[in-house]
Structure 1
Amino acid sequence: MQDFSYPEHEKEAIYRVIAERRDMRHFLPDPVEPEVLAKILHAAHHAPSVGLMQPWRFIRITDVTTRKQIHQLVDQERMQTAQAIGDNENAARMAEFLRLKVEGILECGELIVVTLCDKREQHIFGRRTIPEMDIASVSCAIQNMWLTSRAEGLGMGWVSIFDPMTLGELLNMPAGAKPVAILCLGHVSSFYKEPMLVETGWKQAKPLADMVMENHWDNTK
């Protein structure tokens, strides 16, 4: 059997970047070098997509006013999320959420909105029974960006606290297209040793053993 595996030191680098990837919220204002940004976007475009539909679109936000408007939209949803947490859990948990830093939109060097393209209904291959495979494909592109950013020494944070329709209107997106992620990308002073939500005590990650089943669904998990 032919061995197609990479050399050990290259495999170690892949596992390391996966383990050290972090959802960053704290950034330095230094700009991202254009050649590095190009590498990250190329990595995203190399992601797998069902039926080779490539549903991802990237909107680079370079206008300061638009960046501030996006920040306002996120902050509005942050307050509504806090209220929903308070209604579902309690006032203490709501206050705890409000203390969390949930984005770095105004601080990061680059701001990119990743979207689903319009006219996705034309793509049937692989989506007839699971139409959500379009967003799964976009998620693969975002993961490629995250790993490449970490390898380049940059931080990236995925912001999902926004109303898709309102953001779509702000960015003049066509009907049928949909924003999936606001990505904060940039230089950082350090990377979190653990995921930020773990470091802040918001939540503990579950072990892999709780996620793996065999042959059928395990209701004890």
Structure 2
Amino acid sequence: MEFRDVVRRRRMVRRFGPDPVAPEVVDRLLETAVRAPSAGFTQGWSFLVLTSDAEREQFWAATTPTDSPRDMSAWLDGMRRAPVLIVALASRDAYVGRYAEPDKGWTDRDEARWPVPYWHVDVGMASLLMLQTAVDEGLGACFFGISADRIETFRAAFGVPAEWAPTGVVAVGHPEAGGAQGSPARRRRKPMADVVHRGRW
């Protein structure tokens, strides 16, 4: 598929069909993800891949909020059908450690030197590459986060070390019509004139 078509066809899919995703396709998603840029070539990312029924059920049990200000039942009904969940995690320690090395020289390891948490930025870029690869493979995917109050439950369920923080989760599968409608169904895409500033704001 042409890259332009991949970009234009990418959508957050929220409902998946019953067919599995071939293991070699999952491998291609991950092989593409690690081609993302990373500050200092730190590559401070890890990916927890959940493909069995038991693994995915454990994930949803650990991460589904017990209370929500809005009805999440339609979203959960569609998302729980995804045959592949890839939790993308970032290591702050990897980045502050990398930038304390001689070629970078921030030996104090002070997080305040970072204008934004690039560990999560880089993992976000890796996640986008997975979303695009899913489209190229004829699949659907959705990126979503783990609720802050469920992160420790998630860590405990899967033995995730404290160093690693989940940036988000990529759900992958064969798209099925009738999923929960996302924000693009209710909001228009901003025109370029509203978001692009050339030479001066």
Task: Tell me the TM-score normalised to structure 1 length.
Answer: 0.73
Alpha-carbon displacement from aligned partner over 1:31-53 (angstroms, at most 9, x marks no partner): 11122111111100111111001
Unaligned runs of 5+ in 2: none
Distance in 2 (alpha carbons) for counterparts of 1:98 and 1:62: 23
Matched, 1:212 2:201: no
Alpha-carbon displacement from aligned partner over 1:5-54 (angstroms, at most 9, x marks no partner): xxxxx8xx111111110111110121111221111111001111110011
Q: Which structure 1 residue ranges, 4+ long, deviate > 6 Å from structure 2? A: none
Matched, 1:59 2:48: yes
Per the TM alignment, residue 139 of structure 1 is displaced from its structure 2 partner at its CA by 0.9
Which amino acid letter does the alignment assign opposite residue 75 of structure 2? Answer: K
Matched, 1:110 2:94: no
Alpha-carbon displacement from aligned partner over 1:129-185 (angstroms, at most 9, x marks no partner): 335111111111111111111011011111214233332232211122101112211
Change (3 A) 1:15 1:49: same
Equivalence for 1:4: none
Change (3 A) 1:191 1:206: farther
Q: Tell me if the contact between 1:155 and 1:191 (Cα under 8 Å) persists in the aligned partners.
A: no
Aligned-residue identity in percent: 26
**Residue-pair matches, total:** 187
Equivalence for 1:198: 184
Task: Tell me the TM-score normalised to structure 2 length.
Answer: 0.79
After TM superposition, the structure 1 = structure 2 runs for residues 143-182 of structure 1, keeping only pairs within 5 Å, are 143-163=128-148, 164-182=151-169
Alpha-carbon displacement from aligned partner over 1:114-133 (angstroms, at most 9, x marks no partner): 11136322121598433511
Distance in 2 (alpha carbons) for counterparts of 1:68 and 1:34: 19
Distance in 1 (alpha carbons) for counterparts of 2:178 and 2:117: 32
Equivalence for 1:183: 170
Change (3 A) 1:118 1:62: farther
Which amino acid letter does the alignment assign opposite residue 184 of structure 2? Answer: V
Per the TM alignment, residue 57 of structure 1 is displaced from its structure 2 partner at its CA by 0.6
State the Cα RMSD in Å: 2.8
Distance in 1 (alpha carbons) for counterparts of 2:117 and 2:52: 32
Equivalence for 2:98: 123
Q: Tell me if the contact between 1:105 and 1:111 (Cα under 8 Å) persists in the aligned partners.
A: no
1:29 to 18, 38, 45: 18
Matched, 1:75 2:64: yes
